[in-house]
Structure 1
Amino acid sequence: MNAIAFEDWLAITQLYAAYASVVDAGQWDQWPEFFTDDCVYRLQPRENHERGFPLATLAFSSKGMLQDRVYGIRETLFHDPYYQRHVVGLPILRRTEPDRWHCEANYAVFRTKLSDTSTVFNVGRTLDTIVRTPQGLKFAVRECIYDSEMIPNSIIYPI
């Protein structure tokens, strides 16, 4: 693996932290801004990923599709409101290229319904490709591979 400049490592870790902060705060209009225009965002069970099966719980292939999901969250999806809180491990650099990093990070998402206690909602790892853009670092690919095949009820908000 190639060495990485400290400034790039810091920017990558800040990208992960800022992403979790925005999603946990429900700042949905900001969520697509973490991605390139031709991004890939997938939420997939571990078994499907490891077997090479394409079936995913959520699969978006552009920033426009992410913006459409934001519209759905705000305007068309009806559900019991809840909060979510991400706990994200430090990313591991799996491969580096000029202005492109392939990273993996473990995550746990806790969900709190307004009149209930917090529960573990989703646990897994992200497989990410991060690229340098004129606007800063962005996710070109974000694959959220969750460990359990069981999803409580439904997934409304991004992981």
Structure 2
Amino acid sequence: MLDFETYQEVLSLYADYASVVDTNDWDKWPEFFTDECTYKIQPRENFDRGLPLATLAFESKGMLKDRVYGITETIFHDPYYQRHVIGVPRILCAEEGRIDTEANYAVFRTKPDELPTVFNVGRYLDTIRRTAAGLKFESKVCVFDSEMIANSIIYPL
């Protein structure tokens, strides 16, 4: 069972996460994670079958920082904005210092001079840890519903 105050912290974690990735504040993105963490973007078909292949997979905060460097310094792409709509997280398990959650998400993408489009829809399967710095994601698995993705995924979901 999760107390009200901790649940409010979980809600704030999700809201702050969405704000950072929607405003392209990339230096803050890795700080949502523990040093030893997992971040995956995986198609539903592979996840449901227990297959390990993921569209993106990172295994530490250092790898997340490398991705930030790639986004800001080396990857060339048409500019776009993204906007996250994250459903209310469902608590799957709450143990001492660990919270497992599931939350639906939708990411909309807008390119300059184009109408917004639905870019990616799915669910987050997250493990959250209480740290000295507050709640952090120990694992974030973004399971997207479609077997196809439009173009490429540059920014985190």
User: TM (normalized to structure 1)?
Assistant: 0.98
- The alignment partner of 2:103 has SS state of strand
CA distance in 1, matches of 2:4, 2:93: 16
| Equivalent in the alignment of 1:145 | 143
Q: Quote how far apart the aligned CAs of 1:138 are.
A: 0.1
Matched, 1:22 2:20: yes
Equivalences for 1:72-83 in 2 at 5 Å? 72-83=70-81
| Equivalent in the alignment of 1:66 | 64
| Equivalent in the alignment of 2:39 | 41
| Equivalent in the alignment of 2:98 | 100
CA distance in 2, matches of 1:149, 1:47: 7
- The alignment partner of 2:24 has SS state of coil
Q: Which amino acid in structure 1 is aligned with residue 129 of structure 2?
A: V
C-alpha RMSD of the superposition: 0.4
| Equivalent in the alignment of 1:51 | 49
- The alignment partner of 2:113 has SS state of coil
Q: Quote how far apart the aligned CAs of 1:115 are.
A: 1.3
CA distance in 1, matches of 2:9, 2:68: 25
Q: Which amino acid in structure 2 is aligned with residue 45 of structure 1?
A: P
Q: Quote how far apart the aligned CAs of 1:149 are.
A: 1.0
Q: Quote how far apart the aligned CAs of 1:15 are.
A: 0.1
Q: Quote how far apart the aligned CAs of 1:99 are.
A: 1.3
- Give the fraction of aligned pairs with identical amino acids, expressed as a percent: 65
**Partner deviation per Cα, 1:85-129 (whole Å, 9 max, x = no partner):** 000000000111111100000000000001100000000000000
Structure 1: give runs of 5+ residues left out of the alignment: none
